[in-house]
């Protein structure tokens, strides 16, 4: 399988990624075993789920689990918050020490995040956003920022916010081509990602609507971005990374069994059952009898039951 001509390695402030097709940070999904699967399938860089800096600094065990990682490199963590001092302290913490890059979430549209002045709320508070980025840069870590094109469709700020990020010291930005009010609906605004790319010299990653090679080529052609970030497509088929990059594809059954085993090993049997039932529901989408498979999956109560069902579902 050959990669698109748009796929190439990418240097981010001295951190060389084997390619420019990245796995997006996905809350509730991009745990360590899933990131390992995506990396082995060809993802050039993977990001943890977004991690609360307050939770990290207050010693939350659940928060620390989100930062499980191994010796693989490069790898990135994503954090969120709006207190510059706490954000810098988190970047300087032992928990983030293994990561080659720390990404700041300034795009999350969820109300519980926004109401605290975090995530995409920072798109409406340029002075604070600049202070947060600058403080994190002072930690000595490579800092990137992921943000949306704006809060409202009618008031895009992508280019202006991109310049702010670069000026505050960010070494890369990722632009999700939708506004906060659209959440994940509709086509991404290619022209706003392009405007951000034209406004800065640092690498720009385009996010939104990349499901296949055709989408990747369209995104790169219309935005001039340096790479793409794949989000929901990876939840249905991590093999999308192999398709996009030319890496060797792992078939669904062996991939699932490995993911189940590693999720149990790193995160425990109870978590593995709940999480992998959810993943299997994604993976069997479009299969004949998917509704019945999902019903049986969500009644499975042990790793052994999930494993047996997976062999039935994915052995075809």
What pLDDT does residue 303 have? Answer: 96
Q: Which helix (H) or strand (E) covers residue 40, if one does?
A: helix 32-40
pLDDT digits 0-9 by tens, 235-248: 999 999 999 999 99
SS3 84: helix
Residue 158 structure tokens: 């992508």
CB 133 within 8 A of CB 143: yes
Q: How confident is the model at residue 2 (pLDDT cuts 50, 70, 90)?
A: low
The 10 Å Cβ neighbour count of residue 221 is 11
Is residue 117 very low, low, confident or very high in pLDDT (cuts 50, 70, 90)? very high
Cα maximum dimension of the chain: 55
Over the stretch 118-144, which tens digit does the pLDDT of each residue have? 998 999 999 999 999 999 999 999 999
Give the residue-averaged pLDDT of 59-66: 84
User: How high does pLDDT run on average in the chain?
Assistant: 93
Residue 69 falls in the annotated catalytic set: no
Interatomic CA distance for residues 26 and 234, integer angstroms = 10
Whether 121 contacts 172, CB under 8 Å? no
pLDDT tens per residue, range 159-171: 999 999 999 999 9
For 5-32, how does the pLDDT look when each residue is reduced to its tens digit (9 = 90+)? 899 999 999 999 999 999 999 999 999 9
Among residues 108, 165, 171, 284, the one annotated as catalytic is: 108
List the domains of the chain with CATH numbers. 10-245 (3.20.20.70), 252-314 (1.10.1200.80)
pLDDT tens-digit map of 168-220: 999 999 999 887 766 665 678 899 999 999 999 999 999 989 999 999 999 99
């Amino acid at each position: 399988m050959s990669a698109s001509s748009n796929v190439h390695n990418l240097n981010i402030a001295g951190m060389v990624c084997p390619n420019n097709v990245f796995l997006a940070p996905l809350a509730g999904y991009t745990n360590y075993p899933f990131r390992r699967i995506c990396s082995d399938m060809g993802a050039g860089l993977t990001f943890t789920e977004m991690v609360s800096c307050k939770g990290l600094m207050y010693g939350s065990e659940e928060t620390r689990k989100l930062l499980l990682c191994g010796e693989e490199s490069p790898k990135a963590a994503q954090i969120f918050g709006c207190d510059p001092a706490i954000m810098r302290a988190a970047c300087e913490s032992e928990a983030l020490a293994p990561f080659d890059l720390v990404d700041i979430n300034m795009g999350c549209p969820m109300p519980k995040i926004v109401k605290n002045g975090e995530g995409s709320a920072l798109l409406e508070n340029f002075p604070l956003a600049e202070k947060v980025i600058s403080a994190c840069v002072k930690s000595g870590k490579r800092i990137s920022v992921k943000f949306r094109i704006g809060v409202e469709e009618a008031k895009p700020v992508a280019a202006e916010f991109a310049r702010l990020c670069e000026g505050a010291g960010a070494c890369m930005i990722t632009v999700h081509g939708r506004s906060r009010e659209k959440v994940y609906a509709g086509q991404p605004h290619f022209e706003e990602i392009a405007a951000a790319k034209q406004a800065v010299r640092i690498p720009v990653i385009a996010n939104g609507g990349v499901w296949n090679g055709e989408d990747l080529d369209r995104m790169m052609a219309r935005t001039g971005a340096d790479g793409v970030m794949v989000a929901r497509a990876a939840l249905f088929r991590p093999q999308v990374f192999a398709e996009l990059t030319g890496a060797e594809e792992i078939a669904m059954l062996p991939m699932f069994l490995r993911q189940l085993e590693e999720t149990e090993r790193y995160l425990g049997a109870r978590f593995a059952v709940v999480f992998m039932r959810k993943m299997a529901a994604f993976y069997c989408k479009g299969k004949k009898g998917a509704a019945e498979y999902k019903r049986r999956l969500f009644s499975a109560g042990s790793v052994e039951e999930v494993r047996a069902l997976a062999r039935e579902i994915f052995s075809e």
